[in-house]
Structure 1
Amino acid sequence: MKTSLKHIFRGGNAGLKVVDLTHPLDENIPIWPGDSEFKLAARASYEKDGYLTHSLAVGEHSGTHWSTPNTFVPGGRHAGMFTPQELVVPAVVMDIRAKTCQDRDYCLTVEDVTAWEAVYGEIPLGSLVVLFTGWQERWNDSCSFFGLDRENTMHWPGFGRDAVIHLVEERKIAGLGTDTHGIDPGNDGAFKASGAIFRADKIVLECLAGLDGLPAVGAMLVIGGLPLNGGTGSPARVLGLLGLGRIY
């Protein structure tokens, strides 16, 4: 039987709002030091071939992207192994901009999670927890976005390892997201938060945009990550859906 949105969402989609959480891809995007450069090259033209096509070269973890457990865990699930159901998840957004404007290396703590829940309620099971640091506003300035200092250390806020373990074990989250280039603080070369979330077989979203358009609770994310067999992620179109109501 053919299914319509009216059969999926109670009340239809009249109140549906879509928030684009994706930075456009081009040659000016901030690239992780040493990673592949973005290249879009014409392979056919209207004048010669009657149509236009390009070849595309871009790192798996460039632009707005998703990352999978095999990024850090040998034998962990790769980007071709996640089901469609795992890529449509409820989101909660933790806005820590008031703290990151004072400390660019700020690390989310268990106490921060507890304080957030005191205001918005317990994080629903299966949610993807998004950290809104304000770094999305730095996207067009690579120097500011990476915060590289004279010792070649990067600086941006992120999740603390203890907070990640708490979210995984106590709230059974689906994954983590952030508007920076990594869920770990930029100065954490041990990638402790990444190790914790990937060992728990969860996904990560990085370089998100448009987080000011999402509420603290109530959005549904659609993660358009490429199913690359053996891949550790890919650039992704990430959309936030608001006003869905009850999902049957």
Structure 2
Amino acid sequence: MLDSVEKIIDLSNPIESNIPTYPNFPNVRVETTDYAARDGFTMEKVEMRSHTATHVDAPLHFIPEGKTLDEFPIETFMGEGIVLDLTPKEPAEPIMPEDIEPFVDDIEQGDVVMLYTGWDDYYGWTSEYVMRYPFLSGEVAQYLAELEPKAVGIDTPSVAGWVDEVPAQGPVTDIGADESHVPLLENDIIPIEELRNLDQVLEGADSRRAYFFYPPLNLHGAGGASARAFAFL
């Protein structure tokens, strides 16, 4: 496989202080605690939630007795798959089964299915990115689960819509976060959230196959963790 790789595309958002997160999460802090010139080595202290930047979810995230990340073999977090161009999408628009149906003959059992909405163009502390992004309806989550993929990725902060409230924005949907997550998680299908650069995989096509890696930190007992995602073309 590696002998035929023509291009590697980074699909990950950065981790640094004050990057956009779910608005009710504490801000990310990356602090340099030691400097090589002074201390003989450089080291940083990082404070963030486990579901920060590009990350994967495990069943425990929504299912009380669900599997944790470390209960999956490492090959769960890599595999062949396909990017689907779902653009254009409107702010806070739910993704529906009819958005996926044109591609159904191209999706194979066990695929990593990546959904390109173009929402990484809004990346930053914008209301569009952190609260008014497209998301999976309960119907499409179930529809995707029935296709039996290995994972479902999206270039928005979550597969679920914003249902919380902050001073500048109330809920944008009455579709519960569990409705978007559980059909996947109860079938051991891994959500991959906060991807970027899926358009670079598509290169103008409506869909394109690639090989994807999205390994999380080896965090035991967890319902999710940040990941470094990338694609081989």
State the TM bucket, normalised to the shorter chain: 0.7 to 0.9
Amino acid at match of 1:205: I
Structure 2 unpaired stretches of 5+: 163-171
With the length of structure 1 as denominator, give the TM-score of the two structures. Answer: 0.82
Match for residue 115 of structure 2 among 119, 125, 131: 131
Cross-structure match for 1:155: 132
Q: Distance in 2 between matches of 1:201 and 1:188?
A: 25
1:144 aligns with 2:131: no
> What is the Cα deviation at residue 179 of structure 1?
0.8
Q: Percent identity?
A: 23
CA RMSD of aligned residues (A): 1.7
Larger radius of gyration: 1
Q: Map of 1:1-248 to 2, 5 A cutoff?
A: 9=1, 13-98=3-88, 100=89, 103-117=90-104, 121-146=105-130, 154-169=131-146, 171-186=147-162, 187-188=172-173, 190-191=176-177, 192-215=179-202, 216-242=207-233
Gaps of 5+ in 1: 1-8, 147-153, 243-248
Partner residue in 2 for 1:151: none
1:4 aligns with none
Local SS of the residue matching 2:71: coil
- Aligned residues between the structures: 218
**TM superposition shift of 1:14:** 4.9
Question: What TM-score results when the alignment is normalised by the length of structure 2?
Answer: 0.86
CA distance in structure 2 between the partners assigned to 1:48 and 1:109 by the alignment: 56
SS of the counterpart of 1:90?
strand
Q: CA deviation at 1:141?
A: 3.7
Q: Report deviation, 1:114.
A: 1.6
State the SS of the aligned residue for 1:97: coil
